[in-house]
Amino acid sequence: MRNALAAAALFALLFSAPVAAEELGATSAKFWSAPSVDALPYDAHSRLIRHGRDLITATYSHIGPDMPDRAQRFAGNNLACGNCHLHAGVKKFGLPLFGLAADFPAYSARAGAEITLQERINSCMTRSMNGRPLPISSDPMRAIVAYIQFLSKGVRRGEKLSGLGAGTMPELDRAADPARGRDIYQARCIDCHNVDGAGVQNSLPGLGAGYAFPPLWGSDSFNDGAGMARLITAANFIHSNMPDGVDYLHPRLSVEDAWDVAALMVSKPRPHRANLEKDYPDLLKKPVDAPYGPYADSFSEEQHKFGPYGPIRAKLKEIEKEKGEVKNPNVK
């Protein structure tokens, strides 16, 4: 019975909506699973990889804001990378960190330039972790890079493994609604993420032990320049992974509820990152759900935050087309 169900689910995923096929990342037919750190020997390089995994799962204990040695305080909050990059970065559609090392250096629309893997890690350090960048040659940076490279072993540049990102569920044709999201939060999230999204710490405050249940907003959360502060990323992450324990094959929230509870999270206060207006120098490449301006179009910040995105995308296409029709006088 279970097998039949699983087969039916797989069949549905493979052959139903184009969205589902894309979610499976069906460009690579090869079966691939993340290599296991536990199977490594105890040589120097393997120790570096293990250290990298520890940095992902218990970031606060190595580079957190409560480190006794001030020089080691790089993260500005007590989150762990693994609170978002689930299962130490190997969970499908839990923002995995596998199979991507060879793709760097990669073009980043946010930076408007090619960035290295180290620079990508530092962009989560300064946004998701609300902290400062790790020096390229520092031990923690070398360890995290070694771990991500290990998780990408045998994967070629350009090869897209299934399960990257957080998924792509259908969008609503209305704005996502934080007020409706509040009811969903009370019913489905508050038991773990606590009143006012504050989370539950592993031990007493100030002991640098991170969170059993991480905060979703407030002063110890990711800042407003983080990927998780964007509605589309947040809603898909929540739909594929929350309440903690579900996976993309067995979501427990309806699509609509995931959008609305994500809207609640996005509407709440969090640390502010300076100079956000300098992100995405080419505004046409700015994601439609970036919660801060400037924008290439004249839709409100409110609509960029909460949708609906159909009209914004249509307008951007128009602008792009018009731009393309301007003749460059220097080209004969």
Residues that bind ligand HEC (CB under 6 A): 59, 79, 81-86, 95, 97, 100, 120-121, 124-125, 128-129, 144, 148, 164, 188-189, 191-193, 213-216, 222, 226-228, 233-234, 237-238, 242-244, 253, 261
Show Cβ contacts of residue 79 under 8 Å, excluding neighbours closer than 6 positions.
59, 60, 128, 129, 210, 211, 214, 215, 220, 221, 222
For ligand HEC, the closer of residues 65 and 82 by Cβ is 82
Minimum distance between the CB of residue 287 and ligand HEC, rounded to whole angstroms?
8
How many Cβ atoms sit within 10 Å of the Cβ of residue 174?
11
* Cα separation, 259 vs 177, whole angstroms: 8
Minimum distance between the CB of residue 326 and ligand HEC, rounded to whole angstroms?
30
Rounded to a whole number of angstroms, the distance between the first and last alpha carbons of the chain is 68
Minimum distance between the CB of residue 312 and ligand HEC, rounded to whole angstroms?
17
Cβ atoms of residues 314 and 320 within 8 Å? no
Show Cβ contacts of residue 174 under 8 Å, excluding neighbours closer than 6 positions.
307, 308
Nearest to 63 by CA among 143, 150, 117: 143
For ligand HEC, the closer of residues 56 and 316 by Cβ is 56
Minimum distance between the CB of residue 239 and ligand HEC, rounded to whole angstroms?
9
Minimum distance between the CB of residue 15 and ligand HEC, rounded to whole angstroms?
27
Cβ atoms of residues 67 and 58 within 8 Å? no
